[in-house]
A = this chain, B = another copy of it.
Amino acid sequence: MSVNTFGHLLRVTTWGESHGPAIGCVVDGCPPQIALSESDIQPFLDARRPGQSRHTTQRREPDEVRILSGVFEGRTTGTPISLMIENVDQRSKDYSEIANAYRPGHADYTYDAKYGFRDYRGGGRSSARETAMRVAAGAVARLVVPQVSILAYVAEIGGDRIDPANFDAGQIAQNPFWCPDAEAAKRWEALLDDARKAGSSLGAVVECVATDVPAGWGAPLYAKLDAELAAAMMSINAVKGVEIGDGFHAARLTGEQNADPMSPGDDGPQFAANHAGGIAGGIATGQPVTCRVAFKPTSSILTPVESITRDGEATEVRTKGRHDPCVGIRGTPVVEAMMTCVLADQFLLHRAQCGSASTDRA
C-alpha cells in the first residue's frame, strides 16, 4: 500500500523531487532472463526530454539513466531493478520570486495543506519531472510484453483536432508534437508559437492505442483493465479526463449505434466495430485497446493570477520561467509508458491466475 508505487505484480516505486540530487524508481516483479541495458531505456527518455524544440520547456536535463541493480550479465535477474537519473539543471534561483506564494493550479497549496511545507524550488515531488521515471519503467515494461504494440500521439491541441483521414503513424516522430497528421502539425506550430509568445498555454488530448493485446487480459472487478488505465492516466500531472473507446460520446449513442457486432473469424471472433475500446467487463476483447486523455493547459503563464502567500496575504503570481506551453506534448510518452506498465502488469496477473494455457477452453 505504498502510494508512490504503481502496479500489482510489476511494481514501480518512484522517488525524487525536481530539485533534489536525483530521481529514480524501483521496478519489482520483472520476470528474469530478459535482456536489458540502459540502451533499452535511454531512447524513451530522450523522446520525453525537454528542450528538444522551442515548443517545450528549455530546461536542460540530459536524463541519463543508470541501472543500479537487478541485471546480471545483461539479463534481468528477477530481483528489483533500480533506475536512477541525476538531476543536473537545478536552477532554483528561477523560482525565488514565488518562494512564498502558492502558484494557482499547481500543488503548492495542497502539499502545504497536507504536509506542512512549501518546496519553493519548483514543485518538488509534484513536478512533472517525476514522469521521467514512468517513462523509464515503461521501457522495462515494454520488454515484458513484447507481443503487444503501444502507440500514443497527440490528437488535439487547443481545441484543434487531427483529421482521422490524415492519420499516418509514420508522421508521429517527424514533428515536435507527436502529431500523426502532417497538416495539423503545421497548424499547431503556429498555435504554439502564438501561445508561447503570449506567455499563455494550451490544453491537449492524447490518444493511445495498444494492438495485439490477447483476449482475456484484465482482472475484474476492481483491477479491470479500463479501471487500471483510468487510474494510470489520471495520475499523470495535468490530466483531467480519461475515456476508453468512445468514452463520453458513447453516452450520446443508442444501444444500436454503440453495438460492436461479432462474427466468426479464423483467429477468434471478428468485430465489426470497436466502440468499447477493446474492453468488455474489464477484460480485453482482442481488439485494439484505445484510450483518450485530456491534459489541461499548464498553469504556469505570464499573465498574473491572483493568489495568496503562505502567510495568507494576497499576492499575484506570474511565471517567467522555462515552462511547457502545452504539457500534453511531453505527456505523450508518459501516457504510452503508463499504458505499457498497465498491460505488463495485467499480463503477469493473468499468468498468475490462469497460467499459460488460459485462453484454451478446459
- Chain A interface residue count, CB cutoff 8 Å, equals 159
CA distance A70 to B66 in the complex (A): 20
Which residues of B are found within 8 Å of A312, using beta-carbon distances?
264, 269
Proximity bits, A1-38, B CB within 8 Å = 1, else 0: 11111101101011111001111101011111100000
Which residues of B are found within 8 Å of A297, using beta-carbon distances?
250-251, 253-255, 257-258
Is residue A45 within 8 Å, beta carbon to beta carbon, of the partner chain? no
Which residues of B are found within 8 Å of A362, using beta-carbon distances?
32-33, 75, 116-117
Task: Check B258 against A105 for contact (C-beta < 8 Å).
Answer: yes
Looking across the interface, which residue of chain B has its beta carbon closest to that of A204?
Answer: B251
Interface segment out of the listed A47-55, A164-172, A280-288: A280-288
* Known contacts A9-B352, A215-B110, A285-B109; is-contact A220 B308 (Cβ 8 Å): no
In the complex, the count of this chain's copies comes to 4
Point out the residue from B124, B247, B268, B276 that lies within 8 Å of A79, measured CB to CB. B124
Which residues of B are found within 8 Å of A235, using beta-carbon distances?
221-222, 224, 226-227, 282
CA distance A83 to B170 in the complex (A): 43
Task: Check A69 against B20 for contact (C-beta < 8 Å).
Answer: yes
Point out the residue from B9, B234, B247, B361 that lies within 8 Å of A1, measured CB to CB. B9
Is residue A321 within 8 Å, beta carbon to beta carbon, of the partner chain? no
Is residue A306 within 8 Å, beta carbon to beta carbon, of the partner chain? yes
9 extra A-B contacts, CB within 8 A, seeds A3-B220, A112-B361:
A15-B80, A21-B66, A105-B259, A200-B254, A235-B282, A240-B248, A256-B301, A262-B307, A264-B312
